Structure 1
Amino acid sequence: MRWIFFTLLLAGCSSLPQQNTMVTLSEQELTLSRHAPLTRALNLDDEATLLTLFQPTHPLADIEPLLQDDPAWQELTHEWVADLVLHGQEGEWHYRGAHALGQQEAVRLEYRLVHEDFSVEYFYFDTEPGTPLVITDMGNRLFQLSQVALMAQLYQRMLIKHTVGDEEFAHFFSLLAPYNRGELTSDEMVSVYAQLSAEMQDNVLVRDLLLRALMSEGAYWYWRMPETLRETLLQSDYALLEATFCLQQDEERCDGRYAQLDPDLQQDVALQTEMGIRALERNEVARAEQFSRSALTAEPSFFPTYWLQMQLGIVNGDHSQALAGLDKLVQEFDVPINKQMLTQLYPNQGQAFLKSAQFRQWAEQFPEE
């Protein structure tokens, strides 16, 4: 068995470039009632409720208040919610915590989306203080710009003329739609980016827009892009994206990429479990144990963590540990007792576990298995 946890893209979602660790807020902010409406709506694919909760302000409403009710803006925000619901179908949303946004009173709610194959994505939802819950923005932590922040910069570029690089940006932007229709390849889009001026290559809007488009092809473009150009595009601003691609490569260690992640992501159960599995595959058992213990402490309800715990118990000959992991898998996650699962990675140690008195006594409660 091999579990790979990697983070995918929801087209159009992103995140702000903040280095926040989860902090303790007031009880009012962190009570279940605070995030429960959102968590429930996400897991029920309740688009109607999400539309009620999501009330972003038009980026140009300060200039022209009537834009808040602009049908085009309303349609766009409805599309964001519809895409979010579609993307989360067959998955499960886990609330991870909350933190204040800088000096503002706003609160960011952090979520993990776990898909059926246990691939993971990290999203956030920015909310106004107090109740009832009002969501003002959302994003995917792969990127720098939030939904509203990206649109604010795009409106500025497209509607407020006479900024540096207007024509250059307009040409780049005009090619995104043909690329999304399959009329241009990722190599051609990368070539377009390579020909931009240094100032435009460094522009956060250009970089985010390009990355969103390229992610439709997974990691294909990433490994084909010249290293110097890739460094120009990503710099140090897309640590989660680079860790994502690294974790898709079995031969990569990814320790350096993992160390560059925000602290709250380093402490996330899914990423800790994946790093533990990779260490175990390299026979770095002590390091795998460290990740396993941290993951079990971080969150006691993530299925693959118990698979890692079980395998570590088997390879170490610690049958109590192996049985603790196996019991969780069977009792709480309805995993059938599968002897092949217990011997696939470590045949000899697995057979020893199956023959142990602890396993035989435990298995007596499942006579039909």
Structure 2
Amino acid sequence: MGRIIKQTQIKTAVHYAHENVIIENFQLSSLAKKYSLANFATIEEFRQQTGLADLYWQAMYYRLPGQKKNLFQALGEVDGYIFFMHGWDGSHRIWEKLPLQLTLKHKRVICFNLDVNGFGSSPFINDTPRPEQCSPAALMAAVEYWLSAVNLWPATYRRHKPFYLFVGHSMSGAATFYKDVSGWQDEAYGFYALAPALFCNDIQRQAFYKTVGLGIRIPSFTAIKDVLAPHVIDLLGTGASPVVKNEHLRIYNQTPFGVIAQTLYVLGTATTWPQRNDWSHFRIALGHRDRMVGLNSMLDLLEELDFHSHQIRINFGDHYFFSYGPGSPLSHKKNRQMLLKDLLDFCDELTAKANQLLFNKN
């Protein structure tokens, strides 16, 4: 068993406080240079397994004024870990203040906010990754490999196991449907998928994303990259805050066209239905005007997968129904408040499950 990584001792991490929430930034490559990764994993193995050159994340935890608690101590004390994963052409910044607000409200969680699937500071090794490296299933597999490499799962160093809550939007929302739960029977875990870009039954959107993905890869497309940008923002959600829109434009401009094209293309080709007998760990939130994820087809898919109505929340709004700023619909502000409450309630539910598992074990 690899030793526990004391992440707060890494000199390359950036530390700053905001209302008693400590935020630290990490990259897997820097971590690997400083320490041996858990379970004898290496950065080279991570790259071979995932096709990613690196993986970036933020960690947020609450610290009372005057306390000297560091992240390593917090890892052993909190009730659970929450993992925020963004969608296509996004980064950890699209969540805006939601992880911070959740940490302030709950105080006994650690929020991990990741860059995934070739975007932000988690680039692929190749400018055009193979389709099987950037599918929703591959995205989730990369996160699972990271969990093991940094010793977040299994949490064998803790007497009381933490809960795990995976929060994914769009592309990452779809990824949660492919989480391998083998070996998780003694864990308290849950998934909250926001506007999951899962098109198993949506032939029209499959064709659209495959066609656009293929088209972007044509060399002549590079000449109209700037012209295409406003249409990308319109597709993702005109109701999003200016912060989110600007971040999408920034990521769009800095990301290799091969990554943008391939990740969009595989959304249209990922027609394999998720295989799971128990969907009770899931919560789903959808926007009624979502142009990227069709409401009716998604509801049909969830019904066919045997979801129950109480697991699904339909919100007034578009693909970014939880993002609010100048120019956003007022409903988005209300949705963000409801989402925060949903996440807090989900944390309480998972904490109770973790306590019950501990009681049963003893």
TM-score range, shorter chain: under 0.3
TM-score by length of 1: 0.23
Greater gyration radius: 1
Bigger share in strand:
2
Higher relative contact order (CA 8 A, sep 6+): 2
